[in-house]
Structure 1
């Protein structure tokens, strides 16, 4: 029968304490990355819906209202919509941009306190009938 070595007692707790910050950081990065991907995907969908709305309703369509409704779960202060009609190419372009707020950041700042928060931009161009 093997005897237990008392000098190695508690080594698992020390290893866990050393690895815990790395594991927590990886989990937070995974959550933040998935949130950023969800936000960008919502921006792409909003720009597509805005372009479809202009194609269906004409140039008098309320694209800003539609985009705000599609992106209701995002902060409207960081959201901007730009509609451009090209008469030569007979197309409409809807560009939706959003100042992304990372976990633990204040409005308009990144998580380190800098005033350069990342901005996501989605753009859709469709031909006019």
Structure 2
């Protein structure tokens, strides 16, 4: 039987305590990155569907309602849709933008800092251009 070294007791707890903040930060960054990618992917899909809708229904189509329905899981107050037709190039462009706030941000609470500092909002923009028939 091996005799335990008394000086090494608690070493695993110390290593765990040193690595825990690093691992927690990595997990937080992975979750935030996945959420940001999901948001941008939803915006790209909404801009494509909006452009298809204009092609099918014409310029009078209610693209904003369709975009809002496609990205129903996002905050509609931070979402904006812009439809532009270019008669010279005979194209339609649908641009969807969203103000994305990082995890830990304290929106609407004055000048207080969130988890990552003051400047915590990113604007994601997805744009789709399609030729008109």
TM-score range, shorter chain: over 0.9
Q: How many residues get paired?
A: 129
Alignment correspondent of 1:122: 126
- Superposed structure 1 runs of 4+ greater than 4 Å apart: 108-111
Post-superposition offset of 1:116: 5.5
Distance in 1 of aligned mates of 2:18 and 2:117? 28
State yes or no: 1:2 paired with 2:2.
yes
SS at match of 2:121: coil
Post-superposition offset of 1:107: 3.2
Alignment correspondent of 2:18: 18
Structure 1-normalised TM-score? 0.94
SS at match of 2:102: coil
More deviation, 50-59/97-106 = 97-106
Q: Does the aligned pair in 2 maintain the 1:92–1:125 contact within 8 Å?
A: yes
Q: Does the aligned pair in 2 maintain the 1:96–1:121 contact within 8 Å?
A: yes
Note the residue ranges of structure 1 that are not aligned, 5 or more in a row: none
Note the residue ranges of structure 2 that are not aligned, 5 or more in a row: none
Cα-Cα RMSD: 1.6
Alignment correspondent of 2:43: 43
Post-superposition offset of 1:79: 0.4
Post-superposition offset of 1:112: 3.3
Distance in 2 of aligned mates of 1:115 and 1:4? 52
Q: Does the aligned pair in 1 maintain the 2:79–2:99 contact within 8 Å?
A: yes
